[in-house]
Structure 1
Amino acid sequence: MIAIALSAVAPGFALLSYFYLRHELEAEPLGYVIRSFVAGAILVFPIMFVQYAFVEEGVLVGPFWKAFVATALLEEFFKWFMIYYTIYIHKVFDDYYDGILYAVACSLGFATLENFLYLWVYDSIEIAIWRAVLPVSGHALFAVVMGFCLGRAKHSTHERFWLFTALMAATLLHGMFDYILLVEPMNKVPAVVYIVVLWMVALLLVRTANRSNHRQYK
């Protein structure tokens, strides 16, 4: 059981550490990063309750609706809402990369607790490996895109456009990922390829956000 627990939480903390260290200008207050992580974890239970209600009522159970609405839109909206009201409007959110860092922290808090509960039920190291590669990484990468847009919103005259784009971009990327898994549940290759492409996009956005910071504080 200890091995399963460590397997459940290790990917989330490893990814959070990676994105925390990629901030090139200054280290963000660790307390606020942890706060975002915990806020994301808190979201697991109300979201699970709503998703359970959908299943019980037979609502949004088709592959498309389940992937894009019952899962992606629901989860990404609550994460977006939590990030906006706990961090975005706070003065600590003051540069382009902050959006990425705090969005990743919130999403990984959600993904880590969700992963722990899932592995607690299935108790399998093999499943733990696949979940680290796919769902946990996926949540972090969707968050990079959301956070990049939030960082732009903070410094743009078109704030509402970027806030809306943050939510919709993360929802579409998340929905596509879940749809791939629902349509090809036994074939993980398409999902792995999708995650690899998202990693390339995420690294580009990380680099772009850091460059924007350097230009801002020149």
Structure 2
Amino acid sequence: MTAVDALIWLATVAAPLGGLAALLLGTQRLYGRRRFVVGTALLGAIAFVPALLLEGFLQRWQGLDKVAGTLDAVTLIYLFVVVAPLEQGLKVAAVAPMARLRTVDEPFDGLVYAAAAALGFVSAHNAMYLWGRPLSSIDVVRAALAVPAHLFFASLWGYALGRERKRPLGGRRFNAAWLAAMLLNGAYDYIVFACRPVALFIAAPMLLGVGFVTFLAARDLLRRSASPHSSQRRERRFLPHISPPSLGTMREALRRTERPLMLSWIAFGALVTVGVMTTTLALAVALGHRFGVDFAAVDRGDASTAAAAPLLLLVAAAIAAFPFAGYLVARASSTGSVLEPAASAALAILGSLVLLGLAAPVAVVFATALAPIAFSLACAGAWIGTTR
């Protein structure tokens, strides 16, 4: 390992520790539980050791390699059935002592402890992943993306931990959040490690979407603090100058209004969504051919911008269809709720996943990773349509 490689290794290991330091500054001002947060981060780092040993044993035993860049069903099953549940389960185990000691006094504590465990885990992960190998740009990007990925995925069940303080581990909300984090973790690992390097471009919008959900979850937990005045003060310190709709407002928009559920508009809206998505994809292909974009570069596995350009163009076109379709369905149905447009978007996404599963099963992983973003954008478009 050269001096430059050593500096890069140190930076990737120190990045999660920097995030932990920022977390400590915030938690010290808010709750004064520095030792608990540090202890959880240390447990998170220690929890990576059994994951490393077990994954290494299974990879040697079965000849698996999750970073081989091969698109096969065995690697897919290994990542979803072994790696993702193991990593998320060990992070929960790192938080379990604090939950059992009843140190989760405030709603925001659950998110703090989950984030601390994730940052400790990913710091150890990056240290072992990059140690002793000639570093390439792909390895560095993978290590850099791992920091927000582990943080955001753990924050999903950390939010549930803060909401269910009386039954912190094993509640219905916690189990659902942990399952979602596990599935996203498996999809992320498959996209970033098992696929070709060009697939890294898909991980960025996926992490942005999960990060936005984490942001909304943090705002919601801050609002649930014991004192309204302290809640407002905490929110200003942690999340200043940004005021998107809260999770409560979004849940209210998804509830049924006085009008009965319009099943016909759900079915029609799904067809509209598919039609708009087909149109945007066709326009993207036409635009790509107009400017000489080589779509066959994706199949050839080129690791250059020649393969990244068509992939980004198609992904952007598919995602851009959902807010526009949600807006159209909301305006056409004249409903005061986002429920019908959201259900139609979910139906269109489900249909797309089924068709992709029949045509190209590997593509289902990519579609699953982008599905939450598409659904959120459809709801946002419908929100605009209902308020105009």
Q: TM-score, normalised by structure 1?
A: 0.86
| Alpha-carbon offset, residue 214 of structure 1 | 4.9
- Residue 157 of structure 1: how far off its partner (Å): 10
Counterparts in 2 of 1:134 and 1:19: CA distance versus 1, 3 Å: same
The partner residue of 2:105 within 53, 73, 94 is 94
The answer (yes or no) to whether the contact 1:4–1:123 under 8 Å persists in 2 is no
Q: How many residues align?
A: 217
Judging changes above 3 Å, is the alpha-carbon distance between structure 1 residues 123 and 209 closer, same or farther for their aligned structure 2 residues?
farther
Q: 1:131 to 1:28 in 2, by over 3 A?
A: farther
Query: What one-letter code is carried by the residue in structure 1 that aligns with 2:146?
Result: P
How far 1:9 sits from its partner (Å)? Answer: 2.2
Post-superposition Cα deviations, 1:94-127, rounded to whole Å, max 9, x if no partner, equal 1111111111111111110110122222253745
Q: Which moved more, 1:165-174 or 1:145-154?
A: 165-174
In the TM superposition, residue 75 of structure 1 has moved relative to its aligned partner by 0.7
Structure 2 residue matching 1:121: 3-state secondary structure: coil
Deviation at 1:69, TM superposition (A): 1.9
**Does the CA contact (< 8 Å) of 2:161 and 2:169 recur in 1?**
no
Map 1:193-208 to 2 at 5 A: 193-208=205-220
Aligned match of 2:221: 209
User: Deviation of residue 65 (structure 1)?
Assistant: 1.4
Q: Indicate conservation of the 8 Å contact 1:103/1:143, yes or no.
A: yes
User: Equivalent residue for 1:11?
Assistant: 15
Kept after mapping to 1: 8 A contact 2:44/2:119: yes
In the alignment, the residues of structure 1 paired with residue 84 and residue 188 of structure 2 have an alpha-carbon distance, to the nearest angstrom, of 9
Q: Counterpart in 2 of 1:104?
A: 115
- The Cα of 1:203 is off from its aligned counterpart by 0.8
Q: How is 1:1-218 mapped onto 2 (pairs within 5 angstroms)?
A: 1=3, 2-21=6-25, 26-58=30-62, 62-84=74-96, 86-124=97-135, 126=137, 129-155=140-166, 160-182=171-193, 184-187=195-198, 188-214=200-226
Name the amino acid aligned to 2:45: A
Check the 8 A contact 1:63/1:182 in 2, yes or no. Answer: no
Query: TM-score, normalised on structure 2?
Result: 0.50
Match of 2:271 in 1: none
Is the Cα–Cα contact under 8 Å of residues 38 and 106 in structure 1 kept in the other structure?
yes
Stretch of structure 1 that moved more, 138-147 or 162-171: 162-171
Q: Equivalents in 1 of 2:180, 2:31: separation in Å?
A: 27
Bigger shift: residues 55-64 or 88-97: 55-64
Give the letter for the 1:48 counterpart.
L
Amino acid at match of 1:11: A
Give the Å deviation of 1:81: 2.2
Cα distance in 1 for partners of 2:62, 2:130 equals 26
The separation in 2 between residues aligned to 1:211 and 1:23, in whole angstroms, is 16
The Cα shift of 1:27 comes to: 3.0
Give 1:210 deviation, angstroms.
0.6
Equivalent residues of 2:161, 2:168 under 8 A apart: no
In terms of mean alpha carbon deviation, does 53-62 or 115-124 score higher? 53-62
* Equivalent position amino acid for 2:31 in 1: A
Q: Secondary structure at the match of 1:93?
A: coil
Distance in 1 of aligned mates of 2:75 and 2:213: 26
Q: Say if 1:131 and 1:19 are closer, same or farther in 2 by CA, change over 3 A.
A: farther
C-alpha contact (below 8 Å) 1:7/1:128 kept by paired residues: no
More displaced stretch, 140-149 vs 118-127: 118-127
Q: Larger relative CO (CA 8 A, sep 6+): 1 or 2?
A: 1
Contact 1:103 1:144 in 2 (8 A): yes
Q: Deviations over 1:119-172 (max 9, x none)?
A: 222253745641453111101111111100111121569962133224212211
The CA distance in 2 between the partners of 1:21 and 1:211, in whole Å, is 20
Query: Counterpart amino acid of 1:42?
Result: I
